[in-house]
Amino acid sequence: MAGGLARKCGSALWSLTRRLSAPEFFTQCCYHSKVLDHYENPRNVGSLDKTSKNVGTGLVGAPACGDVMKLQIEVDDQGKIVDARFKTFGCGSAIASSSLATEWIKGKTVDEALMIKNTDIAQELCLPPVKLHCSMLAEDAIKSALANYRFKQNSGQQGAGQTSSETKPSET
Amino acid sequence: MFSVKYLRIVCLSRAAPHSHWPKASRLSVCKPVLSSSHCFTTNTLQNSTVDFTAPGKQSELCFCFNQVFRNCSTCQVKVNCWNCKQVLDKELTFFCRSCKVVQPSDDGTTFFKIMDCDHSFTVDVQKLQRRYLQLQRSLHPDNFSQKSAREQEYSESQSALVNKAYTTLLKPLSRGLYMLELEGMGIDEGTESGADSDFLMELMEINEALHEAQTPDEASKIGHDMKARLVELTEQIDTALQKGELQAAKALLAQMKYYTNIEEKVKEKLSEFM
């Protein structure tokens, strides 16, 4: 029982690869409690089947800080996002942003999910100005996943082997 | 010979603060200081507009002096010792040659000049370290505990600047980014929308493998792989900067940042095994 719980906590914490080290802590003078909540209890960590036609995969990076984020969505036949997963390697704010993003997009349609802005994420998490780019990363990950889903849908309609004129897919 | 009031300009070039990264924009702030000096007989002070804005304000001060001042950002002016008023004989002077008193830090100079290194991506690290120790031996605030408050203040700023110069030039990543910054270029904070998705995927896989590593050997293997890639990138960045290919250098430095992050995570992972 204890071992199972430890494993569960360990797997849930797998994306938290950068701890709040002392220099970071003092520089940012405390993460907001909401960020800490997502950092310690991230929602929807994991992966979906990238080969599935109904799964869109978004893969984005932030070269300034070296953060990498993958966000996947599963969309049903009515165009509603029924599942979302993320994997983020980066700071606490990036992890929290992507965790929140997957929470928000679940249950939304593809068009509704496109409306999510980084400013909404930043406001919800009370991100300081220096961490606004983390919320931007999450927004771009959502858009990238949606674009990949659309590309797959269009490719499926046009037939195998034809390329889409849309944005380059971020396939895994 | 007669004494004339001159406007001494100490120019400060400072990048906008950033937690990790220097930004591309550079702010030039000129701090005018009145000092007495023997006159240069060919010079005449003309009426000019001087804004005595306090240093630290993000504004450019415009001066209209003839002959003495060519360019605010380069500041090719004679600087006097604040204590004995003698002309300081070099552009970068830590101590006055005459009275041996510590001088205020010159934030307008480059880290390469401070550390007496060639302005190049290739740096002799041992020479850099020797220079750092040499400078701190004389500039460290511990040496000024019995001196005046002003000297202590100058010692602190000089010592801090030397620290910053040393830490920036020590590592290839920060050194390369600093060199881009000197050229007015920096890595944007935004998302890499045009990034190679294969490269990002590879990064994800390496990060996942590191996270799932069960033994120190597995983690070390990833660490060695990162080290090898960083060595290769260092050579490529050196070549790009020598050729003046700044965009290429910028892209390579971005890759270096990702791999450096993973390298740091390897160290954290190995410490967990202990």
- Does the beta carbon of A17 lie under 8 angstroms from any beta carbon of chain B? yes
In this predicted structure, the answer to whether residue B65 has a pLDDT above a threshold of 80 is no
Q: Which of A17, A27, A61 sits opposite B200 (nearest CB)?
A: A61
B194 backbone dihedrals φ, ψ, rounded to 5°: -95, 15
pLDDT tier at A157, thresholds 50, 70, 90? low
In this predicted structure, the answer to whether residue B68 has a pLDDT above a threshold of 70 is no
- Partners of residue B203 in chain A, C-beta under 8 Å: 61, 68, 89
Task: Give the gap in angstroms from C-alpha B100 to the nearest C-alpha of chain A.
Answer: 37
Among candidate residues B172, B192, B164, B163, the one with its CA nearest the CA of residue B237: B172
Contact A60 B201 (CB under 8 A): no
pLDDT digits (tens, 9 = 90+) for B116-175: 999 999 999 999 999 999 999 999 999 999 999 999 999 999 999 999 999 999 999 999
In this predicted structure, the answer to whether residue A45 has a pLDDT above a threshold of 90 is yes
- The mean pLDDT value for A135-161 works out to 86
Among candidate residues B190, B248, B200, B240, the one with its CA nearest the CA of residue B21: B190
pLDDT digits (tens, 9 = 90+) for B236-267: 999 999 999 999 999 999 999 999 999 999 99
Q: What is the pTM of this model?
A: 0.71
Query: Considering only the top CATH level, what class is B106-170?
Result: mainly alpha
**Could you say which DSSP state residue A11 is in?**
H
Q: Which of B20, B204, B210 sits opposite A68 (nearest CB)?
A: B204
The tokens for B251 are 């892209």
Architecture of domain B197-272: Up-down Bundle (1.20)
Q: Identify the closest residue of chain A to B196 by CA–CA distance.
A: A170
Angle (nearest 5°) at CA A33 between A30 and A34? 125
- B interface mutation test: which of A24, A25, A59 has the most B CBs within 10 A? A59
In this predicted structure, the answer to whether residue B204 has a pLDDT above a threshold of 70 is yes
Lowest mean pLDDT among A56-65, A67-76, B76-85, B251-260: B76-85
- Partners of residue B21 in chain A, C-beta under 8 Å: 64-65
- Partners of residue B265 in chain A, C-beta under 8 Å: 17-18, 89
Q: Identify the closest residue of chain A to B22 by CA–CA distance.
A: A64
How far CA A123 is from CA of A105, A117, A118, A157, B134, in Å, comes to: 16, 10, 8, 39, 49
- What is the distance between the alpha carbons of residues A114 and B37, in angstroms, rounded to a whole number? 66
pLDDT averaged over every residue in chain A: 81
- Does the beta carbon of A50 lie under 8 angstroms from any beta carbon of chain B? no
Lowest mean pLDDT among A5-19, A22-36, A142-156, B210-224: A5-19
> Which of B83-92's residues contact partners 24+ apart within 8 Å by CB, and which partners?
B85/B35, B85/B36, B85/B37, B87/B37
- Is A30 part of the annotated catalytic residue set? no
A15 vs A88: which has the higher pLDDT: A88
Instruction: Output the pLDDT for position B186.
Output: 83
For chain B, the structural domain boundaries read 2-74, 106-170, 197-272
pLDDT digits (tens, 9 = 90+) for B105-118: 887 899 999 999 99
In this predicted structure, the answer to whether residue A158 has a pLDDT above a threshold of 80 is no
- Is A65 part of the annotated catalytic residue set? yes
